[in-house]
Amino acid sequence: ETSVRDVPLPQWVIDEMPKEGRLVDYTPDEITKWFGKVVKDLDVPHFRFHDLRKHAVSLMATQGVSMASIKDIGGWSNMQTPQQIYIKSLADAHKREMKKYVSYVDRISTKL
């Protein structure tokens, strides 16, 4: 019961889902292994299935969804957890942007 979530989805995703029965018939470990294989096969940088939850928090927050709604959608018992995830992802994004800036400055400085 504590793991049940009502997650809003776009209609195009809902249209692709089975109309009856279970959505998936896999254990959490099987989903994790499958996801790892898909990420590897797609040749994208490694990330975990659970990281999608953190990414969703960041996307919802940047789109103006309230932390109270994010907390409920994510199933957290307090507001601090999604807030900490969002703040950390902002800090990580800031670091990536600063690396881009430094890289750019390094490139143009060699042309001076």
| Residue type at position 20 | E
pLDDT digits (tens, 9 = 90+) for 45-102: 998 988 888 888 888 888 888 888 888 888 888 888 888 877 777 777 788 888 999 9
Residue 80's pLDDT is what?
86
Cα–Cα dist 34/38, whole Å: 6
pTM across the whole model: 0.58
List of residues 6+ apart from 1 with CB closer than 8 A:
none
Residue indicated by tokens 């499958």:
34
Q: Which residues of 58-89 are buried (b: 16+ CB within 10 A; e: fewer)?
A: bebbeeeeebeebbebbebeeeebbbebbeeb
